[in-house]
Amino acid sequence: MARAALLKRLERAEETAKTLSPIELTPFDQDALAIYSAIAYLDATMNPSYDELQPTGVYKRGQELRNAIYGPIVPANDDEHLKRYTRASGEFELAFGREPKADDILRYEHVEKTHRTENYSRELGRMIEAWKRHLQQLTCPLKFEDGRLFRRLSPKRRGEMPTWEEDVRIQPEDRWLSIPQVALNTDFETMRTISAIVFMGVVGAKHQCRPATDEDLQQPETEPTRDPTIYRLGQQRFHEMLVEVMGA
């Protein structure tokens, strides 16, 4: 069911959006863009789900603005960036705002800084507040408590109430271990793992990387990391769903 729901979302997202002239964003526009940018954090297991959000006016306005500012979503089969995408390259891109090149280094500290609680609280917090202003008929399916993100899940049986579950996928440790090359070099009994990976360029159409050596780790930092925006966080989650569900 989750796969069918995602494919349905992709079909809708890939439709050509109407072109908008450059405009100054109103407070409503800013809220609409924040809500739309975070749709990748909603899935078929949640209550309310994406299908309940999609018909609303604030969602449609956010979609218009997203396409006007960033361009229409490229179909997965035609997206050259997605074809190169891996968990490792996605983390590098979120941290530095560009795709990795050969010899670029991604350290755990970069991932830890990018995925710190303050970033999610700030960026997803904007979406949550916008939801409360414009979608009062629907309970927001995301909330923060004590620096942790929770998702509102649909009941498993008829007559039961929705439940809240922590989304641990945003934790830096989980993000780091989700990189296959890191997981392969981790002792899960002692939880000792590597501290960095080095990119080797695009090989076989995908970004490839290897564990960093001591010599690699002596290299100085060449550029600062960037704090992610809600748009970039949503893009990363969306790309990961495509890679997992569609094998893109």
Q: What is the DSSP letter of 128?
A: H
Please determine, for residue 23, whether its predicted confidence score (pLDDT) is greater than 90.
no
Torsion (CA) 115, 47, 133, 135 in degrees, nearest 10: 140
- Tell whether omega for the bond before 48 is within 30 degrees of 0, i.e. cis: yes
CA distances from 212 to 30, 102, 195, 209, 245 (A): 41, 13, 8, 9, 30
| pLDDT, mean of residues 168-194 | 94
In this prediction, residue 20 carries a pLDDT of 38
- 61-113 pLDDT per residue, tens: 999 999 998 888 888 888 899 999 999 999 999 999 999 999 999 999 999 99
In this prediction, residue 15 carries a pLDDT of 44
| pLDDT, mean of residues 6-18 | 46
pTM across the whole model: 0.85
In this structure, is the dihedral angle defined by the CA atoms of residues 213, 217, 221 and 227, taken in order, positive or negative?
positive
The H-or-E segment that residue 7 falls in is helix 2-13
| pLDDT, mean of residues 192-212 | 95
What are the backbone dihedrals phi and psi of residue 43, each rounded to the nearest 5 degrees, phi first? -145, -175
In this prediction, residue 9 carries a pLDDT of 52
In this prediction, residue 17 carries a pLDDT of 36
In this prediction, residue 147 carries a pLDDT of 86
